[in-house]
Amino acid sequence: MYYSRTEDYIYGLETINSNSITEHPKVANKMACFVANGLSASFTIVTGYFFHSSMQASDFHSLTLQVIKLLTDWGFMVFCIVTDNHPSNVALFQETCVEEL
């Protein structure tokens, strides 16, 4: 954890599941990072990152849909979502997909 005196903010606390310091947020030990990669043009844009200690599949699903909506609002076309086989990512696809994986 790191306290920035100039910003009066504590870095290292989770940004998901807590809205203020008074709610006793946990120390974040994971980060969900959303990155957009170009297919026809070479670019990589970090579209969002969220620090957390644990995240429900429904929260992760909601964040993913929000990022996709932002990208499409900005004029991008989202063709696919790529992840590794981390259990939270598998749960995301199980909640998103209609068919069995």
Give the pTM.
0.67
Helix/strand/coil for 91: helix
Per the structure block, which two tokens stand in for 78? 């989202």
Write phi, then psi, for 35 (nearest 5 degrees): -130, 135
Q: How many CB atoms lie within 10 A of CB 96?
A: 14
**Predicted local distance difference test score (pLDDT) of residue 35:** 92
Q: Which of 27-41, 65-79, 85-99 has the lowest mean pLDDT?
A: 85-99
Whole-Å CA distances, 98 to 15, 30, 79, 94, 101: 30, 28, 17, 8, 9
Q: What is the DSSP code (8-state) at residue 23?
A: G
